[in-house]
Chains A and B, each alone.
Chain A
Amino acid sequence: MRTEPEPAAANGVAADAPKPLLDVRNLTVRFEMLRRTVHAVSGVSFSVREGETYAIVGESGCGKSVTALSLLKLLSMPPARITNGSVYFDGQDLLELSETRLQDLRGPAVSYVFQEPMTSLNPSMKIGWQIAESCKKHFGMNREQALARAREVLQQVQLPDADERLDSYPHQLSGGMRQRIMIAIAIVCSPRLLIADEPTTALDVTIQAQILDLLSDLQKRTGAGMILITHDLAVVAEYADRMMVMYAGRKVEEGPVDAILSNPRHPYTRGLLQAVPRLGSSLSENSGRSLSEIPGIVPLLDRPFIGCPFAPRCESAIERCRSESPPTVEFADGCQSACILSESMGAPE
Chain B
Amino acid sequence: MSVGTEPEKPLLSVENVTKHFNVRRGAFGSVRATVHAVEDVTFRINRGEVLGLVGESGCGKSTIAKLIACLHNPTSGLIRLGGVEISSLPEERLRGFRSRVQMVFQDPYSSLNPRMTAGAIVEEPLREHARGSAKKRRERVKTLFRQVGLPYEMASNYPNAFSGGQRQRIGIARALALDPDLIVADEPVSALDVSVQAQVINLLARLRGETGAAYLFVSHDLAVVEHICDRVAVMYLGQLVEVAPKRELFSMPRHPYTEMLMQSVPALDRRRKARQLVVGEVPSPFNPPSGCRYRTRCPLAEPRCSESKPVLRPVGTGHLAACHVRAPAVQN
Contact = CB atoms under 8 A, between A and B. Distances in A.
Do these two chains really belong together in a complex? yes
Interface of A: 59-60, 174-177, 204-210, 212-213, 216, 231-235, 237-239, 258, 261, 271-273, 275-283, 287, 290-295, 297-298
Given A59-B195, A275-B194, A277-B223, A282 B250 contact: yes
Nearest to A296: B195
Residues of B in contact with A, size category: 35 or more
Contacts of B166: 297
A175 B57 CA distance: 10
Contact of A280 (B199, B226, B264): B226
B197 A205 contact: no
B198 A291 contact: yes
Contacts of A204: 56-57, 220, 282
B246 A297 contact: no
Nearest to B193: A59
Most buried by A among B205, B251, B268: B268
26 contacts: A59-B193, A174-B281, A204-B57, A205-B222, A207-B56, A207-B278, A208-B264, A213-B272, A234-B266, A237-B268, A238-B273, A261-B269, A272-B194, A275-B195, A276-B198, A277-B198, A277-B201, A279-B223, A279-B265, A281-B226, A282-B250, A283-B251, A290-B205, A291-B201, A293-B199, A294-B199
A293 B195 contact: yes
Nearest to A295: B199
A292 B198 contact: yes
A237 B198 contact: no
B84 interface: no
B261 interface: yes
A278 B193 contact: no
B285 to A, nearest CB: 12
B266 A297 contact: no
Most buried by B among A238, A279, A283, A297: A279
Nearest to A291: B198
A275 B198 contact: yes
Most buried by A among B226, B227, B266: B266
B278 A210 contact: yes
B196 interface: yes
Contacts of B224: 277
Most buried by B among A208, A235, A291: A291
A294 B198 CA distance: 8
A184 B179 CA distance: 52
Interface of B: 56-57, 163, 165-166, 193-199, 201-202, 205-206, 220-224, 226-227, 246-247, 250-251, 260-273, 275, 278, 281-282
A278 B268 CA distance: 8
A205 B261 contact: yes
Contacts of B197: 275
A238 B278 contact: no
Contacts of B202: 290-291, 293
Nearest to A59: B193
Nearest to B272: A238
Given A206-B260, A210-B278, 16 more contacts: A59-B193, A205-B220, A208-B266, A209-B278, A231-B193, A232-B266, A233-B194, A237-B268, A237-B270, A237-B271, A277-B221, A278-B267, A279-B262, A291-B198, A297-B163, A298-B163
Contacts of A235: 266
Contacts of A176: 281
Given A59-B194, A207-B281, A290-B205, A279 B267 contact: yes
A149 to B, nearest CB: 26
A238 B198 contact: no
A258 B226 CA distance: 25
Contacts of A212: 266
Given A209-B278, A234-B265, A237-B268, A280 B250 contact: yes
A213 B57 CA distance: 20
B120 to A, nearest CB: 23
B195 A237 contact: no
B87 to A, nearest CB: 29
Nearest to A290: B202
A282 B195 contact: no
A281 B227 contact: yes
Contacts of A295: 199
A210 B226 CA distance: 23
